Structure 1
Amino acid sequence: MFAWLETSGIAALWAVALARAPHGLRNRFQRPLWLAIVMIALAMSMHLEPVTAALANVVPDEHWIDLSKHLFSIVDAAAVLWFILGAADRRRHTTPVFGTAAAVMAALVLLDLAAPPHARNQIAPDPATPGVPDAYWWVFFLFHLLADTTCGIVCWLYGRQDTPRLLRLGLLLFGTGTLLASLLWVLKLVYLQTRSPDLGPLFSPVTGAEAWFMAVGAALPVALQLRAHRDHRRTYRGLAPLWRDLTSANPDVVLKPGNRLSALAMPLQLRLYRRVIEIRDAMIVLRNYVTPATLEAVRRHVAAQSVPAHLTDAHVTACWLAAALDARRNGHAPQSQTVNLAGPDATDLDEETAHLLQVATAYCAPSTGTYRASPAGAG
């Protein structure tokens, strides 16, 4: 009845893997997580009936298909544990994690070879059915239980620390998914001991819930990246009117890209960074066209416009930029500037960009247009 939950959860994992592929392949720090998501999706997919049927057409012996899926799932669990531990404390536990995984895989192969002839590596409802010994399943399930429980606990511990909200929620959801995987292994251990028919129907919905929690948890960082890209795009466009006027009057401040193709291929964040630098450089040039009388007139004008206090500096800057542009276009000579027109001190690029966006918004605001039309602005 809940087969759709498992299928849809695995499909969601594949969708997240595809969405993260461009960033995961380029960024060496994100590549392990992306590979882990792909391996989780692949390991779960291999247990779906259509996939098993397709494998049967390639490998006619179902026994070897079962064993291969189990061995691959060990590699998958080790890879996820390796990434989570590395992301948590920035150290890679390669030898203990993959060494243990190799030992478990060797044990499974030896137990399988030592077992009497059997058609499948599955827990048969009747214990008398020939198959691998219970030790095979204990080794298999306990390794998964240990790996998934460790991943879940680490994700929950780091998901409760001081991290961005979406990333924190993503860690908690991904950790919940791995803990649901632990629940699945506990259920299978109980089934191994009891062979209760009531437990079998629980495996698929628990797997589906596990896949959905992991998919949503892994997708949230993508949502964070998309939101950051949207904010950068909005800021880039918001700065455009101010940037066009300032750079048209001061073309020398424009940083020349290598060629048009490289400019189009430049990441948006880098283009935004260049635009901020060019606006700042143009402001340094234009401030030498602002006289003390003009600056005093600008301040009186802004004070009369009922501008919110936190935007006063941005509106003053927008108005003196408009006055400086007019002075430069009219051929006025620059003069040494004794007044600090640099604006508030910014501790990082984000603060600098936010301030310039306020200036750009004020530059297009009616108050600046009113100043241009006033006798002081026209003068």
Structure 2
Amino acid sequence: MINILFTGTAVVLLCFAAYWVRGRGGHRPTGTWAVAALLTSFALAFASYAPAVERAVESVVPHVARLLSNTFTLTAATSVLAFLFQLNLDRERARRQIRLRVIALAISVAGMTVFFVAEQLTGRNPVLYACYVLIYISYLAYTAKDFLLQTWAHSKRSTRRSQRWGLRTTSVGCGFALVYAAYKLFALVSIGLGLGLVPDHARCSSPLTPFRCAFSVTAPAVSVLLITVGLTLPALLWPLSRLRRRRWERKSFTALEPLWREVTSAVPEVVLDPGGTEVDAHDLDFHLHRRVIEINDCVLALRPYRQASVRDAAAAEAARRGTAGTPEGEAEVEAAVIAAAVAAKRAGRPVDGDEAPPAAGTGSRKGDLPAETAWLLLVADAYVLRPAPENAGAAS
């Protein structure tokens, strides 16, 4: 089971890395190569955790699987920081910081290798092993702490939901990395003082057996998975969110057509491009925005024909049905007022009496395309259910 878990995870991580390197639509976002290096390093670290791979490499060099997995983990940690620097700093400063981190990584790996070789040559001297662990855990803990603080802070400022939750997931993964670092520090103290609190030769038969494996194996594994998911989630959800957005734009554009045709037939001069009936599938946002603007311009142009008596009658009807004060009820009232205004404009009859005020929330929705579209969709639905002639008749 352990072999399947770690080998399968390594394959999944390599697939994620390939997804980042491939690019999406010919565009590679900032930090692409850093994330690809991160995922590849994590994949190699997971592969080295697999007992089958561990036995294979240790048949050549005893205990070298630990050095390999630790090296890949530190490389992944450096890639995490490189990704963060490219997001937060200008290009020149990011390059400088990344260069310093790569140098620190090289020094750390070289130091770990020296102590590992010396440890093997001296019969696994506990002091040398403690020095090895100290280098590893210091670099890892510093990186995890820094990344946790930065990602959590950025998650609070992010406007995209997928990015916000991705960053928070990454922060939780960094938390598990710190748990792993704390365990390694505890093991280091135990080894340095000769307390024997952490068995050095026992192997893990499952992610939780023996109990120390929950900290030495499961915690870093969960950390890697959460960081990977957190960093990859926004990139994976972006095409889905774009598809969902386009479907909403197309559906909204079509649903607003009956209302648009009614109001523009009364005020045709507000149509920005009377001959432009073709809708480009790649520019739905523009066409929807234009349709919303044209409907609102028509409503504004129809203000001299908005009758307060129609509004009062429609509001009374909404109150009778129990929809008064709800968005649907307000939309029904607005639809009735617009329908009567369109009929009056066509007949050339000015308002006889008080002019109906604008619909509730008109000012707060200004400039907010999703909110304005949602409101007009309610009005369009109510307009279809309450045809203009009937509404106009209610005013007489």
Please report the TM-score for the alignment, with normalisation by the length of structure 2: 0.64
The C-alpha deviation readout for 1:282-325, integer Å capped at 9, x for no partner, is 44246545653x63453134223214225365334433444565
CA-based RMSD: 5.3
Counterpart code for 1:82 = A
Distance 1:287 1:101, change over 3 A: closer
Equivalent-residue separation in structure 2 for 1:239 and 1:82 (angstroms):
43
- CA distance in 2 between partners of 1:339 and 1:85 (Å): 59
Match of 2:256 among 242, 245, 264: 242
- Which structure 2 residues correspond to residues 340-351 of structure 1 after superposition, within 5 A? 344-346=362-364, 349-350=367-368
Alignment partner of 1:279 is 2:287:
no
* Deviates further, 78-87 or 228-237: 228-237
How many residues are paired up? 358
Which stretches in structure 1 are left out of the alignment for 5+ residues? none
Distance in 1, matches of 2:231 and 2:296, equals 43
AA in 1 matched with 2:199: S
Corresponding residue for residue 209 of structure 2: none
Residue pairs, 1:180-199, within 5 angstroms: 180-188=176-184, 193=191, 196-197=199-200
Aligned equivalents of 1:31, 1:349: Cα separation in 2? 34
- Contact map agreement 2:112 2:135 (CA 8 A) in 1: no
Residues 276-315 of structure 1 aligned to structure 2 (within 5 Å): 276-285=289-298, 287-288=300-301, 292=305, 295-306=307-318, 307-311=323-327, 313-315=330-332
Paired amino acid for 2:256: L
Q: Which residue of 2 aligns with 1:81?
A: 81
Confirm whether residue 253 of structure 1 aligns to residue 272 of structure 2: yes
Q: Secondary structure at the match of 1:196?
A: coil
CA distance in 2, matches of 1:32, 1:348: 41
Give the AA of the match of 1:308. Answer: A
More displaced, 226-235 or 142-151? 226-235
Following TM superposition, by how much is the alpha carbon of 1:14 offset from its aligned partner in structure 2, in angstroms? 5.9
Superposition deviation, residue 234 in structure 1? 3.8
- The answer as to whether partners of 1:246 and 1:282 remain within 8 angstroms in 2 is yes
Normalised TM-score (structure 1): 0.66
Deviation at 1:105, TM superposition (A): 0.8
Match of 1:128 in 2: 123
Q: In 1, distance between residues paired with 2:23 and 2:347? A: 52
Alpha-carbon contact 2:144-2:175 (below 8 Å) kept: yes
Structure 1 residues 115 and 208 mapped into 2: Cα distance closer, same or farther (>3 Å)?
Answer: closer
**Alignment partners' CA distance in 2, 1:375 and 1:110:** 86
1:361 aligns with 2:378: yes
Segments of structure 2 that go 5 or more residues without pairing to the other structure are 205-212
Q: Deviations over 1:139-189 (max 9, x none)?
A: 333212221232224444555789787755543432221232233345456
Q: Structure 1: how far apart are the matches of 2:148 and 2:303? A: 61
CA distance in structure 1 between the aligned counterparts of 2:108 and 2:45, rounded to whole angstroms: 22
Aligned residue for 2:105?
104
Contact 1:243 1:279 in 2 (8 A): no
| Preserved CA contact (<8 Å) 2:85 2:98 | no
Structure 1 residues 316 and 17: alpha-carbon distance in aligned structure 2, compared to 1, 3 A threshold: farther
Contact map agreement 1:13 1:211 (CA 8 A) in 2: no
**Structure-2 change in CA distance of 1:223 and 1:110 (3 Å):** closer
Partner residue in 1 for 2:171: 175
CA distance in 1, matches of 2:90, 2:251: 37
Once the 2 structures are TM-superposed, how far is the Cα of residue 80 of structure 1 from its aligned partner? 0.7
Q: Check 1:339–1:149 CA distance in 2 against 1; reply closer, same or farther (3 A cut).
A: same
Instruction: Determine helix, strand or coil for the equivalent of 1:365.
Output: helix
Q: 1:51 and 1:245, CA in 2 relative to 1: closer, same or farther beyond 3 A? A: farther
Match of 1:264 in 2: 281
Residues 1:212 and 2:207 aligned together = no
Separation of aligned partners in 2, 1:243 and 1:276? 13
Bigger relative CO (Cα 8 Å, ≥ 6 apart): 1
* 2-structure distance, mates of 1:149, 1:302: 61
2:148 alignment counterpart: 152
Call closer, same or farther: CA 1:102–1:22 in 2, change over 3 Å.
same
- Aligned-residue offset at 1:340: 8.6
Q: In structure 2, what residue type is equivalent to 1:243?
A: E
| Cα displacement string for residues 242-280 of structure 1 (whole angstroms, at most 9, x for unaligned residues) | 2354158459435988x97xx2234xxxx2353133232
Q: Distance in 1 between matches of 2:18 and 2:324?
A: 46
* Contact 1:74–1:101, Cα closer than 8 Å, also in 2: no
For the Cα contact (< 8 Å) 2:171–2:227, is it kept in 1?
yes
Q: CA deviation at 1:61?
A: 8.9
What letter corresponds to residue 305 of structure 1 in structure 2? E
> 2: CA distance between counterparts of 1:347 and 1:52?
60
Query: What letter corresponds to residue 265 of structure 1 in structure 2?
Result: H
Instruction: Find the aligned partners of 1:99 and 1:220 in 2 and give their Cα distance.
Output: 29
